[in-house]
Amino acid sequence: AQSVTQLGSHVSVSEGALVLLRCNYSSSVPPYLFWYVQYPNQGLQLLLKYTSAATLVKGINGFEAEFKKSETSFHLTKPSAHMSDAAEYFCAVRKTSYDKVIFGPGTSLSVIP
Amino acid sequence: GAVVSQHPSWVICKSGTSVKIECRSLDFQATTMFWYRQFPKQSLMLMATSNEGSKATYEQGVEKDKFLINHASLTLSTLTVTSAHPEDSSFYICSPRGVAGLQETQYFGPGTRLLVL
């Protein structure tokens, strides 16, 4: 069964510092991978998705993620954190385009001024 | 992108009452609907999957008689929480999947926050 792990339930970075949120997946085949952001008391917003095209995926708000099959990872990065990036981030996996989306436990990002 | 709406956005009800949550996909046809539940400070957990015109398939541990799902049309699905109890208080999110333009894709609704007193 496919699953997603996110190392670090809470990450704090200084404003302007690099953001690195970790995601590892387990799947028998290269899956579809997603990063979603959820602001307090709001729904989900898709940041980016990997669908077996380029391994480096660029998303919205300056975020990007790199698919590394050898490490079964899909870590999310942003070169310079902004206060508005403070939110909950979920990595998610889907085995095929017709399968269900399974979410990781989430990482809460705090940005320190 | 496609717009997904949920109504109501939040609801407070007394224990023992039933609550219906509507999910509408406004500009694409949702052939499949996923319903998720999110407890405070937790991740989204899939409750059930339904295909238009068919009975829903529930995940293990989710009571099908308590969480009634109707997906009668390609643009509307409803989740009814029957005889709600305080432990059902949660954030319920629908996620329609279908074809938008030429691409099969999936969206997430804004969520409905349920508080059972």
Q: From first to last of its 117 residues, what are the pLDDT tens digits of chain B?
A: 568 999 999 999 999 999 999 999 988 888 999 999 999 889 999 999 998 888 899 999 999 999 999 988 899 999 999 999 999 999 999 999 987 777 778 889 999 999 999
Higher pLDDT, B72 or A89: A89
> For testing the chain A interface, which of B5, B33, B43 should be mutated: the one with the most A CBs within 10 Å?
B43
Q: Is B60 on the interface with A (CB under 8 A)?
A: no
Give the pLDDT score at A58: 95
Mean pLDDT, residues A64-93 taken together: 95
pLDDT of residue B1: 57
pLDDT at B100: 73
The stretch A6-21 carries a mean pLDDT of 96
A23 touches A11 (CB < 8 A):
no
Task: Establish whether the linkage from the previous residue to A40 is cis, with ω within 30° of 0.
Answer: no
Bigger pLDDT: A53 vs A79: A79
pLDDT of residue B2: 61
Residue A45: which of A14, A88, A76 has the closest Cα? A88
Is residue A13 within 8 Å of residue A109, measured between CB atoms?
Answer: yes
Strand A102-103 with A87-94, pairing:
antiparallel
Between vectors from CA A31 to CA A29 and to CA A33, what angle results, nearest 5°?
Answer: 155
Q: Residue A63's CB: how many other CB atoms inside 10 A? A: 20
| H or E element that contains A18 | none
Report how far apart, in Å, the C-alpha atoms of A4 and of each of B15, B37, B86 are: 35, 17, 29
Give B-chain residues touching A102 at CB under 8 angstroms.
46
Top mean pLDDT of A23-32, A76-85, B66-75 is at: A76-85
Cβ distance of A43 and B109 shorter than 8 Å:
yes
Question: Measured between CA atoms, how close is A46 to chain B, in angstroms?
Answer: 9
Q: What rounded mean pLDDT belongs to chain A?
A: 91
